[in-house]
Amino acid sequence: MKKIPVLDTIRFGYGFTFGHLGTIIGLIWLPMVILTVGTYFVQMQYSGQFLASFEQGNPAAIGPAVLVLLGWSLVSFLLYAMMYTVVTRQALGLRQGQAVIHFAFGLTEIHVLGALLGMIAIIMLFLFAEALFGGIVGGIVSVAARGQPVVTPVVALLVAVLLLALVYLLVRLGFLLIATTVAENRVGLGRAWELAGGNFWRIVAVALATLLPLLLLRAAAEIAIIGPEVFLQQIAALLHQAAAPAADTAARMRESAEQMREMSEHLPLLLVLNFLLAPLAIGLTMAPAAFAYRALTAQNDR
């Protein structure tokens, strides 16, 4: 079983991203403009409909906005598939040269879109099974303990175990998925899982070294945009919602409406931030995976 060369993979990720930053920008700027502008209008429409339905006490009124949001989510995945594909091709050496503008959707992009949707379907299925299994076990333990406090720690432990299983699934399946799909020109769910076998901690190390600094930079920029107080309020609201009874629907709706009202004010700057960081985020995600794929399939000529 081959191992991912961690240091070489990290080195290539940074070298490719910063060494080809102009090319990456040329390859993705047009899809990113479409994605940014479209997301702004769709999110603003959804926020307006949500707030209006909350104020009117008519949850059904948000239905059309939800459908538009779902439709735009599919378009967003398509645009990301285009960007992931071409940057990965560049990192794999399947594409050469500079780029000023790029906008293409062919068979490989369809395969990448299918791989992304397939991974989401697997995650959703896992979450559904987790909720079902957790509910069954929680009910059994509750009956066995006759309402004693042992229920909470047992269910919490179960949730923690399932959460770790989900992380393992995401790491092992997601890291090589795009590179495998692009290189082999087929939806590579099974192949990505196979190649990543025995490399979980190596993948985690690569991801931490390449993406953690960018995530911290993004978090700092978001805090600067929305303000520390609002950021802490958002975290507190999420924790409260997680701890609140599921039946307290009205309280959850009020908190969601307040969060949406606050975030809508900062949406333009947050989208601009996402646009500016996109070349770094995509480069530091796709390039290490491309290098690791080549190493694992003995195609790396270094």
Largest CA distance in the chain: 69
Q: What is the pTM of this model?
A: 0.87
pLDDT at position 55, please?
73
Which span out of 128-137, 167-176, 255-264 was modeled with the highest average pLDDT? 167-176
Cα distance between residue 279 and residue 160, in whole Å: 34
Cα distance between residue 23 and residue 37, in whole Å: 22
- pLDDT over threshold 70, residue 70: yes
Average pLDDT in the 207-221 region? 95
Using the CB atoms, write b or e for 95-106: b if 16+ within 10 Å.
Answer: beeebeebeeee
pLDDT grade, residue 301 (50/70/90)?
very low
Average pLDDT, the chain: 86
Residue of higher predicted confidence among 233 and 69:
69
Average pLDDT in the 233-238 region? 65
pLDDT grade, residue 237 (50/70/90)?
low
- pLDDT over threshold 90, residue 120: yes
Q: How many residues does the chain have?
A: 302
- pLDDT over threshold 50, residue 7: yes
Average the pLDDT over each of 35-44, 79-88, 134-143, 286-295 and give the range with the smallest value. 134-143
DSSP string of 63-128, one letter each residue? HHHHHHHHHHHHHHHHHHHHHHHHHHHHHHTSS-S--S------HHHHHHHHHHHHHHHHHHHHHH
- pLDDT over threshold 60, residue 156: yes
